[in-house]
Amino acid sequence: MHEYKQKLEQLQEFIKKGFESQDVPAKKTEIDTLSAEMSAPGFWDDNDKAQVTSKKAADLQKSVDKWEGIVDEVEELLGLLPDISPEKDPASADDFKKMVDELEARWGSLEIETFLGGKYDAASAIFSIHAGTGGTDAQDFAEMLLRMYLRYAEKTGQHGDVEWKATVLDESRGEEAGIKSVTVLVEGEFAYGYLKGEGGVHRLVRLSPFNSGNTRETSFVLLEVLPDISGAADVSDIEIDDKDLRVDVFRASGCGGQSVNTTDSAVRITHEPTGIVVSCQNERSQLQNKEHAMKVLKGKLADLMEKEQAEELSELKGGKTEMSWGNQIRSYVLHPYKMVKDHRTNYEESNPDKVLDGDLLGFVEAELKKGPEEIGK
């Protein structure tokens, strides 16, 4: 059992560092403050503010429970270790080893949270995919990436107990195939933190199914990732004056229900001071479309403010970039060989089909760990 004793002691050290980095005692103090606020008379008079406060308290408690739970578990296993004897009771020894391996896997998921300390990392995410250079091939590639990220959102079990829900807000289809652009809301804890590093230009190399010669073609797609700050506890720095908005309504062109194409339910909002334009058309209700469009607008304004204040644009990933050769963050090569490679971290996979089916965790973790020093390394 010497090997498992070493593994447990190492895990205990890693978990201790993670616990300290998350400042769990400070989170408990903040929970007490929020609990007192929620118990005060008139707390629910402002329903929107009350819901934000309640969610923040619940999220903090969830984080505290996870960290305290894993600390207790590693200590409990270390306490059991002296009583484990493979010679006298092989079955119990095997069960113990299994528990240690499961603990190690849970730590692997929880460790990622130690790299998610950005201002909006815990927020939901809004991402947009735009077809670039490559014509129909680029539009088809955009749809491939849409499916990849929707599948990634479905596979959030790989992030531990995080749950995500993805909703397509706006979509413009290509004339022949694929999509010209699409905007998706991914609701769930740390969605922005996980996805922000995916922003940038993605490049595809393959034999084109859209030309008679079946020649090798290169196409480019831009992915933009924004935080959904509508549920943030403090969004006072994002003020939107209704007088600065031009709201246009029009008939939706995509799918979304029996009446979506027969009424002026689609909404386009222009923020005139910045020239930012957002739209949403995938809900039946004009009100719902306007609410979703405002989420996107607030995210874009938050992104813009962060970039104006940042010393380096890399503090928030995914600014406007030319969609062409030399600017890509990741390449998906299907011919003459098979490989997906991230050019920032040099992380690569040899099975593009697996990656395009949503298996992105390796790329996400490599990008998250690239900047700050890894805990336990």
Same-domain status, 192 and 164? yes
Same-domain status, 73 and 156? no
Same-domain status, 250 and 337? no
Pick the range with the lowest mean pLDDT from 40-44, 278-282, 367-371: 367-371
Same-domain status, 269 and 363? no
The confidence score (pLDDT) of residue 341 equals 97
Is there a domain that residue 363 lies in?
yes
Task: Compare 229 and 260 and report the one with higher pLDDT.
Answer: 229
Specify the number of domains making up the chain: 3
Is there a domain that residue 48 lies in?
yes
Is there a domain that residue 66 lies in?
yes
Indicate the pTM of the whole model. 0.74
**170-221 pLDDT, tens digit each:** 899 999 999 999 999 998 888 999 999 999 999 999 999 998 888 999 999 9
Distance CA 355, CA 358 (A): 5
- At residue 100 the predicted structure's pLDDT band, cuts being 50, 70 and 90, is very high
Output the domain CATH number for residue 272.
3.30.160.20
Same-domain status, 161 and 178? yes
Is there a domain that residue 355 lies in?
yes
Same-domain status, 98 and 29? yes
Q: Report the run of H or E that residue 38 belongs to, with start and end.
A: helix 24-39
In three-state secondary structure terms, 347 is coil
Residue 230 contacts residue 298 (beta carbons within 8 Å):
yes
Q: Estimate the crossing angle of helix 47-80 against helix 24-39, to 10 degrees.
A: 140
Distance CA 226, CA 196 (A): 7
**43-61 pLDDT, tens digit each:** 999 987 898 899 889 988 9
Taking the alpha carbons at both ends of the chain, their separation in whole angstroms is: 24
| Total residue length of the chain | 377
Output the domain CATH number for residue 24.
1.20.58.410
Residue 316 contacts residue 304 (beta carbons within 8 Å):
no
- Is pLDDT above 70 for 236? no
Is there a domain that residue 376 lies in?
no
